[in-house]
């Protein structure tokens, strides 16, 4: 329980509205030791000091941010950590352990286009086989075989060709 530190005294609903959060969020914050002036109970509203709550939230945000860089030594340490992470990422990229996001997006868009084409071709490939067919079982069999054929072809799709074309694109971009 906190004493009033000069902010406006509000209940749970008003606090939620002021902060733009839901009532369950306010309840969760209380469980996380958010300060209050009066604990609510049956027939008695919770009371919160808005100034104390805002200060509590600011303190938590500062803690989550890891504090400030107070000294030159701390700044140098953070710079060294960033440089180390950069070196690790460069090693992982050079060792082909990671793929740049833009390269992955291009590769996926090509593969998805192939999937779309293969699936859209199923009706034209099966229409003649199913013409005049009345057996549901035969329909399912023919369609399943065509879907399996399309998926097998996609699984055998040579992504090495994609790798080479994407590497050419990547080598044209400056680092």
Question: Which residues fall within 8 angstroms of residue 17, CB to CB, at 6 or more apart?
Answer: none
Q: Whose CA is closest to 157, among 123, 104, 107, 120?
A: 107
Domain 9-64 annotated CATH 1.10.10.10: yes
Residues of the chain short of pLDDT 50, as ranges, are: 166, 175
Backbone angles phi, psi at 136, to 5 degrees: -60, -40
- Tell me what pLDDT residue 101 has: 80
- Tell me what pLDDT residue 144 has: 94
Three-state SS annotation for 48-61: EEHHHHHHHHHHHH
- Tell me what pLDDT residue 48 has: 92
- Tell me what pLDDT residue 81 has: 83
10-61 pLDDT, tens per residue?
999 998 888 888 989 999 999 999 999 999 888 899 999 998 998 888 888 7
* Contact predicate 119/150, CB 8 Å: yes
- Tell me what pLDDT residue 32 has: 92
- Tell me what pLDDT residue 160 has: 63
Q: List the domain boundaries for the chain.
A: 9-64, 69-98, 101-171
Backbone angles phi, psi at 32, to 5 degrees: -95, 20
């Amino acid at each position: 329980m906190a004493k009033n530190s000069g902010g406006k005294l509000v209940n749970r609903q008003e606090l939620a509205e002021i902060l733009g959060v839901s009532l369950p969020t306010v309840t969760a914050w209380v469980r996380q030791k958010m300060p209050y002036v009066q604990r609510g109970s049956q027939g008695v509203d919770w009371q919160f000091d808005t100034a104390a709550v805002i200060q509590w939230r600011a303190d938590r945000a500062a803690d989550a941010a890891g504090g400030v860089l107070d000294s030159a030594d701390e700044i140098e340490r953070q710079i060294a950590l960033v440089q180390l992470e950069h070196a690790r990422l460069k090693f992982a990229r050079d060792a082909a352990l990671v793929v740049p996001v833009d390269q992955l997006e291009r590769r996926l868009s090509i593969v998805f286009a192939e999937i779309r084409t293969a699936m859209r071709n199923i009706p034209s490939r099966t229409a003649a086989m199913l013409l005049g067919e009345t057996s549901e079982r035969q329909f399912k069999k023919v369609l399943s075989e065509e879907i399996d054929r399309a998926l097998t072809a996609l699984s055998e799709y040579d992504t090495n060709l994609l790798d080479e074309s994407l590497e050419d694109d990547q080598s044209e971009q400056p680092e």
